[in-house]
A and B are shown apart, each in its own frame.
Chain A
Amino acid sequence: MKNIGIIIKKQIKDTMKNTAVLIQFFIFPILTLFMENAIDIEDMPSQYFVKLFSVMAIGMSTTSVAVIISEEKEKNTLRVLMMSNVKPWEYLMGIGIYVWTICMVGAGLMATCVDSEDVVFYLGIMGVGYMLSILAGACVGIYAKNQMSATSLAMPLMMILGFLPMLALFNEKIKSIAKFFYTQQIRTILDEMSFDSITRESVIIVVVNMIVVIASFFILFRKKGLE
């Protein structure tokens, strides 16, 4: 358990010196704050940019995790950790908790643009979304041998998860496909921002997505190991 804390501490120090990753974590929260305060068009739905960028941020977190894990593999620092008796599950938990926490800080920033009575609901939904994306990103990180292949795999995944819900706004056909992804369901739930928007269908779809991601993670981990 102690090793999880060590991994988190190491990752915090590393991120403070890694501009590319910092940008990934905070680009959408910053865009949200800016756009929500700078743009005010008549008839624009309330909290439009919060809802738009929240889903993109959830999609983006897959690449963050994938890149962190694959960089450690490529630089052989992961091997050093394993040889120092850090267990694979400790490493993955450390990275997962770290990424989730940083993402939730970003969500906290975006939540400043949400009505105060909806903040807890909003953060709860974002928490679930980030968790699924982190698992999906970990699958890519485990599978990829290096950063380049991790990015090649994670980018399309990020596009599908993050941008499909946005495209679904303009195209019914895309919407009919996008609804099977958890990010589209999250988008729909955030549109209403209430428990009433959580339908049986949305719960089933999110749970199925969760099962697919978790199963993929364990299958890949058993097949490939962490290194």
Chain B
Amino acid sequence: MIKCRNLVKSFSGNEVISGVNLDIGKGEIFGLLGPSGAGKTTLIKILTGQLDYDAGMVSVMNKDVQDLSGEDKKQIGIMMDQFGVYERLSCIDNLKVFADIYDVPHSRVKEILGEVGLGAAGKKPASNLSKGMRARLQLARVFMHSPKIIFLDEPTSGLDPMTQKQIHKLILEKKKQGCTIFLTTHNMEEAAELCDTVALLNEGVIVDSGSPEETCRRYNHQKKIILHLNTGDDLELPQTKASADEIYNLMKDGMIETIHSSEPNLETVFLELTGRKLEAE
């Protein structure tokens, strides 16, 4: 559904996207994970035709992104971080504008507001919505015309964990309905929870990609067992026979409070590959 080959983009001589290759299949949730300034928004703007590119190839639904017709664009839904809503209009009126553009019946407006949990807020002006409600309104706007491909640029940025969970649920619902979803995030938990495939982007270059579990396993060099004892001490043991005996003895003596393995997460993988953290401290 979405393909990229050797994509390059520069601003004032600065290469911000360098030779990016992507291949996203139908019904997949693809996550682009990277810190601020990595090039995530630039890449998503190129994929959605908002920005030109300098070299390479970008195709969406088997067409060059610059050649997409009006009918093709109706198959695509986009939610960018900076996209606004009409502040003075109610949620219902905000959606009616786009229902008319996309030839969606107005009966669908109340339906979609209910699906995103804004059923009771339909008549509220958008200016009176909380950040989380506004994000859900924007998602409603994206989902309303049932697009085949959805682009989400940091859809849960700045939202509380409860709202994030609700939005994740909505995104996973869309995947179940067969949508292909491309999302950008700097939240590794979000990427691990939602995405079938994750690409780690740093300074315009994809440093690694794969399923979240597979990516973490590839960097599981250490293979340690970490124990927290009821004395308050922490123990790190390598995965060896000797350690197994020690763990057995500790267990026999009832000294182990917690025990877990030390697989890396996407944050530690990113740190290992780039020397940078995903999120600013």
- Measuring CB to CB, which residues of chain A are less than 8 angstroms from any residue of chain B? 2-3, 6, 9-10, 13-14, 17-18, 75-77, 79-81, 83-86
A-B contact pairs, 19 of them (CB 8 A): A3-B101, A6-B97, A6-B101, A10-B86, A10-B97, A13-B89, A13-B93, A14-B88, A18-B88, A75-B86, A76-B80, A76-B82, A76-B84, A79-B83, A79-B84, A83-B48, A83-B78, A85-B70, A85-B73
Task: Look across to chain A and name the residue whose beta carbon is closest to the beta carbon of B74.
Answer: A85
By a CB distance below 8 angstroms, the chain A residues around B78 are 83
By a CB distance below 8 angstroms, the chain A residues around B80 are 76, 79
Q: Shortest Cβ distance from A224 into chain B, in angstroms?
A: 16
Is A75 a contact of B84 with CB atoms below 8 Å?
yes
CA distance A6 to B96 in the complex (A): 9
Chain A proximity mask over B64-99: 1 for CB below 8 Å, otherwise 0: 000000100110001010111111110001000110
Is B86 a contact of A77 with CB atoms below 8 Å?
yes
CA distance A77 to B101 in the complex (A): 14
Chain A proximity mask over B117-149: 1 for CB below 8 Å, otherwise 0: 000000001000000000000000100000000
Is B89 a contact of A17 with CB atoms below 8 Å?
yes
Is B101 a contact of A86 with CB atoms below 8 Å?
yes
Please give 9 more A-B residue pairs, beta carbons under 8 A apart, in addition to A2-B100, A14-B86, A18-B88: A6-B101, A10-B86, A76-B84, A77-B85, A79-B80, A79-B84, A80-B141, A83-B48, A85-B101
Q: Shortest Cβ distance from A113 into chain B, in angstroms?
A: 32
- Measuring CB to CB, which residues of chain B are less than 8 angstroms from any residue of chain A? 48, 50, 70, 73-74, 78, 80, 82-89, 93, 97-98, 100-102, 125, 141
Interface of B is mostly: loop
CA distance A80 to B102 in the complex (A): 13
Contact with B100, one of A9, A79, A85 (Cβ below 8 angstroms): A9
By a CB distance below 8 angstroms, the chain B residues around A84 are 73, 98, 101-102
Interface of A is mostly: helix
Q: 6 closest Cβ contacts across the A-B interface?
A: A75-B84, A17-B88, A76-B84, A85-B73, A77-B84, A6-B100
By a CB distance below 8 angstroms, the chain A residues around B83 are 76-77, 79-80
By a CB distance below 8 angstroms, the chain A residues around B74 are 85
Is A80 a contact of B48 with CB atoms below 8 Å?
no
By a CB distance below 8 angstroms, the chain A residues around B84 are 75-77, 79-80
Q: Shortest Cβ distance from B100 into chain A, in angstroms?
A: 5
By a CB distance below 8 angstroms, the chain B residues around A17 are 88-89, 125
CA distance A18 to B88 in the complex (A): 7
Q: Shortest Cβ distance from A112 into chain B, in angstroms?
A: 30
Q: Shortest Cβ distance from B35 into chain A, in angstroms?
A: 23
By a CB distance below 8 angstroms, the chain A residues around B85 are 75, 77
Task: Look across to chain B and name the residue whose beta carbon is closest to the beta carbon of A75.
Answer: B84
Is B101 a contact of A83 with CB atoms below 8 Å?
no
Q: Shortest Cβ distance from B67 into chain A, in angstroms?
A: 14
By a CB distance below 8 angstroms, the chain A residues around B70 are 85
By a CB distance below 8 angstroms, the chain A residues around B101 are 3, 6, 81, 84-86
CA distance A77 to B89 in the complex (A): 12
Q: Shortest Cβ distance from B11 into chain A, in angstroms?
A: 17
By a CB distance below 8 angstroms, the chain A residues around B98 are 84
By a CB distance below 8 angstroms, the chain A residues around B141 are 80
By a CB distance below 8 angstroms, the chain B residues around A2 are 100
Q: Shortest Cβ distance from A2 into chain B, in angstroms?
A: 8
By a CB distance below 8 angstroms, the chain B residues around A75 are 84-87
Q: Shortest Cβ distance from A71 into chain B, in angstroms?
A: 9
Q: Shortest Cβ distance from A114 into chain B, in angstroms?
A: 34
By a CB distance below 8 angstroms, the chain A residues around B93 are 13
CA distance A86 to B70 in the complex (A): 9
